[in-house]
Amino acid sequence: MSLERRTPPSAPEDSLLAWRDEFPILSQTNYLISNSLGAMPRRVYDSLREYADTWATRGVRAWGEGWWDMNVRVGDKVGAIIGAPPGTVSMHQNISIAQGILLSCFDYDGPRNKVVIESGIFPSVYYVLRGMLPSHIELHMVESEDGGITVPLERIIEAIDEHTLLVPISHVLFRSAYILDVQAIIEKAHAVGATVILDGYHAVGIIPVDVTALNADFYLGGVLKWMCGGPGGVFLYARPDHLKTVRPKLTGWMAHKRPFAFEVDEIDLRDDAFRFLNGTPAIPSLYANEPGVDIIAQVVVENIRRKSMHQTALLIALAEEAGFKVNSPRDPAQRGGTVTLEPNPACSYEISRELIARNVVVDYRPQAGIRVSPHFYNSDDEIHQVVEAIQEIIEDGSWRRHATGRAFVT
Ligand SMILES: Cc1ncc(COP(=O)(O)O)c(C=O)c1O
């Protein structure tokens, strides 16, 4: 069965498709999974070769010739995309570690004994919170009231009070792509003296983010999804005033003002993004991270967002016409770059495996469904193709080939 090709009248001129050649995987694959791992830019081959050449020819001198500062140099490139001033963004291995670094900055013995989170929180962040917060701290979770598509903003705002120390909160929910009104959350938190740690992994690179305009205390995100920067590229933005005051306990010599004095004494912390670093950074990741970040800067997130709103609307229209349940917000202003589909609750996981077997790459999340995540390099045809492929898979029963057990590997 195939659906009639339809393009909403608002479809933008698709000059962004000119970027397709920069991403090798797109020539063989309908790649609709940029919410998980963005497509690799061709330039990464050159970048990693440059890393190997530098190591091979400069050896240890590479530290002084660029590697020592590379972390914050790449951080500045990310910062330019998210409205952060230079010297405020550091790169880290993953969000779990970056959250741990931030949690290690706070004093839990004071009068504030409450941390407010929402039920759409990414589990790894929750595990770190549970592991690091002392038992007398109340972890107050605001629940979704619609099965996980959204979280009620009013409940979050109500929960943040004068007992609240921290508000570690998602900017965009990973299951449904619901965009939280983080401006309102930050305003309430600041009014009562609480600090907000935003997890913007599903925001950066697909919706415009301006950490300065938001007056965000701390903003975490990663380049591996919508920024096409590959694994090992998570960033931590800290508001300039926090860079001079907060004191990470999870720290190391990279954060010291005089690392090469090798003083075994109280650490003298730097007043810039290095303050949040610890030990020797993973230099190869930084080389791999750069090309994707450069491309996103060139493409410009506002252009990406415009196209994304068009393609997610098209996807929802086609999915509804085909009778699939949609577990993402209908209001485009509240929806990030992903549309989560539940074509058949009994076999959506198996359908997702068959899609991947057919080279239509998506993923599946329990309590949500099949996440379809077009990016600036996807064509409208590829949107039609995924919906048609799901219909075929249901009709021909080929999903049954995958009904042997749920491995949940990606
Ligand atoms: C919102 C969010 N936070 C964090 C993570 C991952 O955390 P980590 O970088 O520790 O693997 C993900 C992974 O998809 C995520 O969606």
Residue 141 and residue 249 share a domain: yes
Under the banding of pLDDT at 50, 70 and 90, the label for residue 367 is: confident
* Window from 17-31, 346-360, 367-381, 394-408 with minimum mean pLDDT: 394-408
Q: Is 201 in the pocket of ligand 1 (CB under 6 A)?
A: yes
Q: What is the pLDDT of residues 370-402, one digit of tens each?
A: 999 999 999 999 999 999 999 999 999 999 999
Q: Calculate mean pLDDT across residues 174-190.
A: 98
Asked whether the predicted pLDDT for residue 295 surpasses 50, the reply is yes
CA of 36 to the centre of ligand 1 (A): 9
CA quadruple 85, 86, 92, 96: dihedral, nearest 10: -10
Measure Cα distances from 40 to 37, 180, 228, 313 in Å.
Answer: 9, 29, 6, 26
pLDDT digits (tens, 9 = 90+) for 305-315: 999 999 999 99
Structure tokens at 334: 């509240």
Residue 1 lies in a domain: no
What is the structure's pLDDT at 405? 66
> E strand or H helix at 342, and its extent?
strand 339-342
HSE at residue 189, side-chain half, CA atoms within 13 A, is 28
Alpha carbon of 95 to ligand 1 centroid (Å): 6
pLDDT tens readout for residues 311-339: 999 999 999 999 999 999 999 999 999 99
**Model confidence pLDDT, tens digit, residues 31-83:** 999 999 999 999 999 999 999 999 999 999 999 999 999 999 999 999 999 99
Same domain, 242 and 356: no
Please state the pTM of the whole predicted model.
Answer: 0.95
Residues 217 and 272 in one domain: yes
| Kind and range of the H or E run holding 349 | helix 348-357
Banded pLDDT at 261 (limits 50, 70, 90): very high
Pocket lining: 93 vs ligand 1, CB cutoff 6 Å: no
Instruction: Burial-class residue 1 by CB neighbours within 10 Å (0-12, 13-18, 19+).
Output: exposed
Structure token pair of residue 255 = 């954060």
Q: What is the pLDDT of residue 6?
A: 45
Q: Which of 129, 174, 176 to mutate to test the pocket of ligand 1 (most atoms within 8 A of CB)?
A: 174
Is the same domain home to 20 and 93?
A: no
Our answer on whether the CB atom of 220 is closer than 6 Å to any ligand 1 atom is no
Q: Residue 301 CB: number of other CB atoms within 10 A?
A: 23
pLDDT at 410: 63
- Structural domain includes residue 3: no
**In the Cβ-directed half-sphere of 273, how many Cα atoms lie within 13 Å?**
27
Residues 216 and 363 in one domain: no
Note the Cα 249 to chain centre separation in Å.
Answer: 25
- C-alpha to C-alpha distance for 341 and 339, rounded to whole angstroms: 6
In a domain, 149, yes or no: yes
Contact 172, 179 (CB under 8 A): yes
- Whether the predicted pLDDT of 408 surpasses 70: no
Per the structure, the complete domain to which residue 78 belongs is given by 45-298
Report the C-alpha gap between 65 and 34 in whole angstroms. 34
Cβ neighbours, 10 Å, residue 344: 17
Say whether both 161 and 274 belong to one domain: yes
CA distances from 107 to 62, 103, 104, 116, 154 (A): 38, 9, 8, 16, 28
Containing 195, the helix (H) or strand (E) segment is: strand 195-199
Has residue 10 got a pLDDT over 90? no
User: Within 13 Å, how many C-alpha atoms sit on residue 139's CB side?
Assistant: 17
Q: Whose CA is closest to atom 14 on ligand 1? A: 36
Ligand 1 center from residue 226 Cα (angstroms) = 13
CATH number at residue 111: 3.40.640.10
pLDDT category of residue 409 using cuts at 50, 70 and 90: low
Check pLDDT > 80 for residue 98: yes
Spatial contact of 332 and 323, defined as CB atoms under 8 Å apart: no
Is the pLDDT at 88 greater than 70? The verdict is yes
Percentage of residues in the chain having pLDDT higher than 90: 94
Q: Which of 298, 329, 359 is the last residue of a domain?
A: 298
Pocket test for ligand 1, best of 37, 91, 95 (most atoms within 8 A of CB): 95
Q: Are residues 25 and 82 in the same domain?
A: no
Together in a domain, 135 and 184: yes
Atom 3 of ligand 1, residue of closest alpha carbon: 122
Residue 290 region, left (φ>0) first, then alpha (ψ -120 to 50), else beta?
A: alpha
Start-to-end CA span in the chain (Å): 28
CA distances to 14, 61, 271 from 260, rounded to whole Å, are 52, 15, 17
The chain-wide mean pLDDT, for the chain, equals 95
Ligand 1 mutation target, pool 124, 219, 235, most atoms within 8 A of CB: 124
Residue 23, amino acid: F
- What is the per-residue pLDDT for 407? 62
- The pLDDT value given to residue 5: 45
- Three-class DSSP category at 318: helix
Q: Verify that 242 and 162 share a domain, yes or no.
A: yes
Q: Please report whether residue 74 resides in a domain.
A: yes
CATH number, residue 385? 3.90.1150.10
Q: Are 375 and 16 in contact (CB under 8 A)?
A: no
Q: Please tell me the predicted confidence (pLDDT) of residue 404.
A: 75
Same domain (yes/no): 191, 105: yes
Give a yes or no: residue 330 inside a domain: yes
For ligand 1, whether the C-beta of 402 sits within 6 Å is no
**pLDDT for position 403:** 84
**Residues 69, 125 within the same domain:** yes
Report pLDDT for 4.
Answer: 45
The total domain count for the chain is: 2
Look at residue 8 and tell me whether its pLDDT is greater than 60: no
Assess whether 356 and 256 both reside in one domain. Answer: no
pLDDT value for 85: 98
Is residue 36 in some structural domain? no
From 265, 282, 298, give the residue that closes a domain: 298
Checking if the pLDDT of 368 tops 80, the result is yes
In 9-66, which ranges are continuous DSSP H helix? 43-58
Tens-place pLDDT, residues 141-164: 999 999 999 999 999 999 999 999
